């Protein structure tokens, strides 16, 4: 369904390794994580059908104001297009696929969850964790969501060549493989048109700034829109 060549063509791997060097575990984030509970401060304000943005610092909006984060911006896009959904930001900085698996039941216990935007795996890569284990964790998250009749939008990531050719190939292939096996909607690269662009990233060169978050929201919304109902 999605070939390795097609995914590799999305983004140049030149100088790509540093993208992940602080995707969830930068020094600043480590300090931030000490100050907050691991569960995100989810605020449910209605009984509307819910879209849960589930991921790491990229979802949580690390370094941004709440109104600059992609889940908040996504909510505004939905309202502008007359979609009656409530977007829940369930991002946790530093989260791995295992961490996501450990808290997905808590997230899915919320009433009226319709769609799960699953954005995890960058921190598994950063820590050099086995791709097979990451894939297994993500598969279990998807299965738990589908068991609750929740649609899944799976967001892919890319790996730098310095991880080794086989690791890189396995990692890149893991996301489209999961999407195909579990018949989920798929966004090949969450940071498309953002990564390595200094104008769209914060000073660390890794996390999107406010303008980058807008592009990230556009990426998500393009993949999400066919899943929506009015």
Q: What is the distance between the alpha carbons of residues 44 and 50, in angstroms, rounded to a whole number? A: 9
Please indicate whether residue 46 is annotated as part of the active site: no
Number of neighbouring beta carbons within 10 Å of residue 93: 28
Please indicate whether residue 182 is annotated as part of the active site: no
Q: What letter would DSSP give residue 161?
A: G
Q: Residue 113 contacts by C-beta under 8 Å, 6 or more apart in sequence?
A: 49, 50, 52, 107, 148, 150
Evaluate whether 185 touches 220 at the Cβ level (below 8 Å). no
Please indicate whether residue 204 is annotated as part of the active site: yes
The upper half-sphere exposure of residue 73, i.e. CA atoms within 13 Å in the direction of its Cβ, equals 20
Catalytic residue among 177, 182, 204, 218: 204
Where b means 16+ CB within 10 Å and e means fewer, 65-86 reads eeebbbbbbbbebbeeeebebb
Q: What letter would DSSP give residue 149?
A: T
Catalytic residue among 26, 97, 124, 207: 207
Write down the residue that tokens 């999400």 correspond to: 224
Q: Among positive and negative, which fits the CA dihedral 84, 87, 73, 2?
A: negative
Question: Terminus-to-terminus CA distance in the chain, angstroms?
Answer: 29
Catalytic residue among 26, 56, 57, 173: 57
Q: For residue 121, give both structure tokens.
A: 């795996």
Catalytically annotated residues: 57, 204, 207
């Amino acid at each position: 369904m999605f070939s390795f060549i097609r995914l590799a063509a999305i983004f140049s791997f030149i100088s790509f390794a540093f993208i992940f060097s602080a995707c969830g575990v930068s020094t600043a984030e480590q300090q931030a994580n000490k100050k907050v509970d691991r569960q995100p401060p989810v605020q449910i304000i209605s009984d509307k059908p819910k879209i849960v943005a589930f991921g790491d610092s990229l979802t949580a909006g690390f370094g941004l104001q709440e109104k600059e984060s992609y889940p908040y911006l996504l909510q505004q896009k939905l309202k502008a297009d007359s979609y009656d959904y409530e977007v829940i930001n369930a991002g946790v900085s530093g989260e791995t696929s295992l961490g996501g698996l450990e808290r997905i039941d808590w997230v899915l216990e919320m009433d009226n969850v319709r769609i799960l935007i699953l954005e995890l795996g960058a921190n598994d890569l950063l820590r050099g964790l086995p791709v097979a284990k990451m894939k297994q964790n993500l598969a279990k998250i998807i299965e738990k969501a589908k068991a609750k009749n929740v649609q899944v939008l799976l967001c892919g990531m890319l790996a730098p060549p310095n991880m080794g050719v086989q690791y890189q190939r396995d990692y890149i292939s893991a996301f489209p493989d999961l999407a195909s096996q579990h018949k989920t909607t798929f966004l090949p690269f969450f940071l498309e048109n953002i990564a390595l662009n200094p104008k769209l990233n914060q000073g660390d060169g890794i996390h999107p700034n406010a303008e980058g978050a807008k592009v990230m929201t556009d990426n998500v919304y393009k993949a999400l829109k066919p899943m929506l109902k009015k």
